[in-house]
Structure 1
């Protein structure tokens, strides 16, 4: 079975469905994922459904986000039931209490599976390309030493997450890094393995 235009549209809808996170539509956000799906991003690693619950807690804090999502680049398995997608995204964050914001550019690397006729994400990871601080109400002081503990590509996002109570506990993939290479190689190895079944 070859992938169809409808398969591509369904996967694009999954990517743009991230708007449900920004809108606080938690059940609809869970609907983007298979029940056994996992996610690894700056502030959360674990089951995707747990991520949705954690996102709801974040939404009740002083830290808020908005995401801009592009059209994904998708590679399908030979039988058309699995895929790997890479999607450009921009995350805009702001802590209203601290009067400090950030803008981060990243790419989601997703493994997707079509089960019972429906495409869902089975694994989501992120590569961070670059980011910057924003100052919605004018300049405020930043602890440059604390921000400097993170890779430059996502230092602003990680710093704002940390001071908002959502710490970043390890190093994540950045553009051109070995971690990015390994992440993509693993995803496409997985895709090739699916073709054997």
Structure 2
């Protein structure tokens, strides 16, 4: 079974549907994932449903985010029921209380499954390419020692998340890293039916 233009559009809509997070449309965000879907990003790892609840808490905090999403590159399984996509994104964050912001450039690597004719995300992981601080109201001091605890590819974003009460607690994949290779190989194996999500 081959993929159709509609399959590709449905998956693209899942990717751009991330705007629901920025708009605080929590029910709409939940609909992007299968009920057993999982997500791993800098500040959260676990079930997608729990991520939506945590995102609502973040939305009520001093930390604001916006995501700019591009069109995905998609590969389908031979039977047309699974897909893996890689999507560029820009994460724009700002803590309004601290007067400090960050822009992070990342790629979402998603395992997507069609169930009962509907495509939804089963697993989302992020690979971080680079990040930098922004200063919405003028330069503020950054603790360079704390910043040095994170890889430079997402250091500014992690620093801002930590300062906002959403700590980054482990190492995440960066461009060209061994962990990125593991994520991609595992997704490829899953696409070919050689492993589970």
* Superposed pair shares fold, TM > 0.5: yes
Aligned 1:1-197 pairs, distance under 5 A: 1-193=1-193
Distance 1:38 1:49, change over 3 A: same
Give the root-mean-square deviation of aligned CA atoms: 0.9
Q: Could you tell me how far 1:2 is from its partner in structure 2?
A: 1.0
3-state DSSP of counterpart to 2:140: coil
Gaps of 5+ in 2: none
Cα 1:194–1:12 shift into 2, 3 Å: farther
Q: Deviations over 1:36-74 (max 9, x none)?
A: 000000000000000000000000000010000000000
SS in 2 for 1:174: coil
Output the CA distance in 2 between the equivalents of 1:53 and 1:116: 26
CA–CA distance in 2 between the matches of 1:77 and 1:192?
6
Residues 194 and 112 of structure 1: is their aligned pair in 2 closer, same or farther, counting only changes over 3 Å?
A: farther
TM-score of the aligned structures, taking structure 2 as reference length: 0.98
Unaligned segments of structure 1, at least 5 residues: none
Count the aligned residue pairs.
195
TM-score in terms of structure 1 length: 0.98
Runs of 4+ residues deviating >3 angstroms: none
Secondary structure of the residue that 2:153 maps to in structure 1?
A: helix
